[in-house]
Amino acid sequence: MLMISDYIRPKSLEEAYELLTNKENSQLIGGGAFLRLTSKDIELAIDLCDLKLDFITEMDTSIEIGAMTTFREIEKSNTLKKYFGSILSDSVKEIVGVQFKNYVTIGGSIYPKYGFSDLITALLALDTKVILYKAGEIKLEDYLKEKTTEKDILTKIVLNKERALTSFKSLRKSSGDYSVLNVAVSKNRDGYRIAVGARPGAAVLVPEAEELLNSSATINEEIVNKTANIASEGLSFGSNYLASAEYRKDLCSVLVKRALMEVIA
């Protein structure tokens, strides 16, 4: 059972950061959806709900999404669909139901680097930057690889405002369940990006597969098949209660091919 000894709603990021770093066994609260599933004893819960971090803002060259923006807001956003198609809404649409998505936040999913996150895979395919209160700007792929134990606060993410052709694919045992595997593909003027997640480790890019696509004068079925095989053979997969590593490896090739064919079409 989750036990919280004290609860505070700071009025500034500086106050939140000081509480987080100076108070032993403190924990940030975004939406709190996944935290409720744990049996932690938390001395101080720091709720970020009063810091006005729930926004989707179109800037001159980018789109900024606040850390407290909910999955439901992402699912419904016409701004995100205008530039990136349905990749982000598709990545969250199968998550339980509207009530749950109304309090699950983007920061609560990205900051802990959840390996099961469908949204992280979709964002990784879109060349996303993470903005941390103290560490500043960092590419999402680099953030996911970091092993740092220093506490920080994710304030927002930034997407380049450039129209892209996109696709998100996943396989679940049942509606609302975690993905057995998920794949996201995007293509803009800089080329293709391919991300694979729920391996069951954190989502990763597949540079070797991207290189083949970006160096090919014509993308045909043969190139697509080769790309899908490179992705499947080049990544490591693990086993858990959802699927075996061998099954995920085979599934990766299928989902990458489907996503690529959708983008090309």
Q: Three-state DSSP class for 42?
A: strand
Containing structural domain, residue 64:
56-160
Domain co-membership, 63 together with 140: yes
Query: CA distances (Å), 31 to each of 46, 97, 202, 255, in order?
Result: 11, 15, 21, 30
Domain co-membership, 67 together with 128: yes
pLDDT in tens, 104-121: 999 999 999 999 999 999
Mean pLDDT calculated for residue range 174-186 = 92
Q: Report the alpha-carbon distance of residue 31 to residue 101 in Å, rounded.
A: 9
The letter for the amino acid at 149 is T
CB 26 within 8 A of CB 63: no
Residue that finishes a domain, picked among 108, 141, 160: 160
Classify strands 154-160 and 136-139 as parallel, antiparallel or unpaired. Answer: unpaired
Phi, psi of 184 (to 5 degrees): -130, 140
- The pLDDT of residue 29: 83
Higher pLDDT, 37 or 254: 254
Domain count within the chain: 3
pLDDT in tens, 79-97: 999 999 999 999 999 887 7
Domain co-membership, 119 together with 194: no
Residue 1 has pLDDT above 80, yes or no: no
Residue that finishes a domain, picked among 141, 160, 179: 160
Q: Report the alpha-carbon distance of residue 23 to residue 4 in Å, rounded.
A: 14
Domain co-membership, 68 together with 117: yes
Domain co-membership, 143 together with 110: yes
Window from 20-29, 56-65, 81-90, 130-139 with minimum mean pLDDT: 20-29
Domain co-membership, 182 together with 257: yes
Residue 246 has pLDDT above 90, yes or no: yes
Q: Report the alpha-carbon distance of residue 226 to residue 218 in Å, rounded.
A: 13
Classify strands 129-132 and 62-66 as parallel, antiparallel or unpaired. Answer: unpaired
Average of per-residue pLDDT values in the chain:
93
Domain co-membership, 63 together with 124: yes
Domain co-membership, 141 together with 217: no
pLDDT in tens, 181-240: 999 999 999 999 999 999 998 999 999 999 999 999 899 999 999 999 999 999 999 999
Read off the CATH number of the domain in which 198 is found.
3.30.390.50
Q: Report the alpha-carbon distance of residue 66 to residue 155 in Å, rounded.
A: 6
Phi, psi of 107 (to 5 degrees): -65, -40
Domain co-membership, 128 together with 171: no
Domain co-membership, 71 together with 40: no
Query: CA distances (Å), 111 to each of 117, 195, 264, in order?
Result: 11, 18, 32
Count the neighbouring beta carbons within 10 Å of the beta carbon of residue 247.
Answer: 15
Read off the CATH number of the domain in which 124 is found.
3.30.465.10
Domain co-membership, 70 together with 147: yes
Q: Report the alpha-carbon distance of residue 56 to residue 104 in Å, rounded.
A: 15
- The pLDDT of residue 97: 77
Q: What percent of the chain has pLDDT over 90?
A: 77
Structure tokens at 213: 């696509």
Domain co-membership, 211 together with 156: no
Residue that finishes a domain, picked among 13, 30, 47: 47
